[in-house]
Amino acid sequence: MEGYDSKSGVTEHYVARPAGNESDKSSGAASTHAAPEVTGINQDTAAVTTVEEVQASKKGWFAYFKTRDFYIVLILGQILALCITSTNTFSSLLVEQGTSIPAFQTLFNYVLLNIVYTSFTLYRYGFKRWCRLLLKDGWKYIILSFLDVQGNYFFVLAYRYTTILSAQLINFFAIVIVVIISFIFLRVRYHITQIVGILICIGGVGILIGSDHITGATSSDGISKGNQVKGDLFALVGATCYGISNVVEEFVVSKRPLYEVVGQLGFWGMIWNGAQAGIFDKDQFRTATWNSKVGGYLTGYTLILSLFYSLAPIMFRLSSAAFFNISLLTGNFWGVCIGVKVFHLSIHWMYPIAFVCIVGGLLVYFVSKKVLGEATKPWLGQNQEQGVAGVGTARRRVVRGDTVV
């Protein structure tokens, strides 16, 4: 079981005892630092080790390649890329039906996240403790949700005014933002192989963009210079918001339970997004087409985006905001693969080369990493004692041994 200490803001974990035996709480059932997502972890049975001991279990370069976590991170990154590609596909299908309401269609995602995760948070904390959470830490989640909502809104808005080529190029700015903020504020230090890996991934996307330019997929016909500048600025704002929100979420989810973070993101995001939809989407809402296909596309968009928001925090724990962003670069390739079936597109011969290049960059990124990869966060202490022992964290490995979930 777990409780929420309103004074310290820390979730405490303890083993349940029969009623009427209060003395056991102070003697035999000392509070442990187990995962908020899993109950019943006792210090007597938990693995007793340190981060250094775990890291030393496999030595040398490519040590991380020999772990299960590496393959989980690699596959999880591609699942997230497919989720993004799928939501983009549903957005394109909605536009074909005459329905383009970016803020409104994302609102359902935040509503669903709020229903699922805030309900579970209330169940775990109780209403009073949940209210204390809002008073103590609510401002952090208000900022996080605001950045997330604006990132979504401005990037969708950018595609109305600029070319896909420009938007894709500016999207790289999110990676730059993540690396700089993580380096300055979170004390993350990148190995030369990680920098090389990021550059290789960017080179792979460069091949994709070159292919699109050759085939005319990024043509700017019909777009005025004034509108293109406006679109580029919107894309720049969106990329900046995305980059900052990714770093903030990585920091918060390393210290707090996953269900609390996602629940608060859904709760405040629903308010921000609802207000924005009411202000900016009124005209589009009136002229939009409403039929069974639109309803199906909105449902698919909401379910897949909610899955993305549920898996992303695990990715931030297992790896980092930087790897999260470069993993999503394969989304362009998956988008064309889906487009072959849905929109009858053709795959240019440069696309498979670009995909292999990006995946190669992802592998190079982890060449020098030890057993725990990027799961060890420098802001959590030597043995990650300031972090939560949740799903995907290094602290969980210290407490429970060789386990991820």
Give the model confidence (pLDDT) of 177-205 as tens digits: 999 999 999 999 999 999 999 999 989 88
CA distance 4 to 9: 7
Place of tokens 């003395």: 23
pLDDT tens across the length of the chain (405 residues): 444 444 444 444 433 334 444 334 333 333 333 344 543 344 444 445 788 888 888 877 889 999 999 999 999 999 999 998 898 888 888 888 888 888 888 999 999 999 999 999 999 999 999 999 999 999 999 999 999 999 988 887 777 776 665 666 677 789 999 999 999 999 999 999 999 999 999 898 888 878 777 766 555 555 555 677 888 888 889 899 999 999 999 999 999 999 999 999 999 999 999 999 998 888 888 888 899 999 999 999 999 999 999 999 999 999 999 999 999 988 877 877 777 777 776 777 888 898 899 999 999 999 999 888 999 999 999 889 999 999 999 999 888 766 555
- Asked if residues 122 and 245 have their Cβ atoms less than 8 Å apart, the reply is no
CA distance 157 to 227: 11
Q: What ranges in 1-44 are assigned the alpha helix state H?
A: 23-26
Find residue 5's DSSP bridge partners: 10
CA distance 119 to 121: 5
Quickly list DSSP for 79-116. HHHHHHHHHHHHHHHHHHTT---HHHHHHHHHHHHIII
Can you give the pLDDT at residue 21? 41
Find residue 2's DSSP bridge partners: 13
DSSP conformation class of 20: T
| Cβ-based neighbours of 103, under 8 Å, separated by 6 or more | 153, 273, 276, 277, 280, 281
Can you say how many angstroms the Cα of residue 33 is from the centroid of all Cα atoms in its chain? 24
Question: What does the block give as tokens for 80?
Answer: 């997230």
**C-alpha separations of 364 from 195, 196, 370 in Å:** 9, 7, 13
| CA-wise closest residue to 193 among 75, 392, 343, 370 | 370
Question: What does the block give as tokens for 79?
Answer: 């699942």
- Asked if residues 102 and 281 have their Cβ atoms less than 8 Å apart, the reply is yes
| CA-wise closest residue to 236 among 152, 139, 158, 128 | 158
Can you give the pLDDT at residue 235? 84
Find residue 302's DSSP bridge partners: none
Place of tokens 């085939």: 215
Pairing, β 2-5 against β 10-13: antiparallel
Question: What does the block give as tokens for 189?
Answer: 């230090």
- Asked if residues 41 and 34 have their Cβ atoms less than 8 Å apart, the reply is yes
CA-based diameter of the chain, in Å?
76
| Cβ-based neighbours of 70, under 8 Å, separated by 6 or more | 64, 366, 373
Quickly list DSSP for 348-379. -THHHHHHHHHHHHHHHHTTT--TTTT-S-GG
Q: What tens digit of pLDDT does each residue of 102-134 get? A: 888 899 999 999 999 999 999 999 999 999 999
Can you give the pLDDT at residue 154? 87
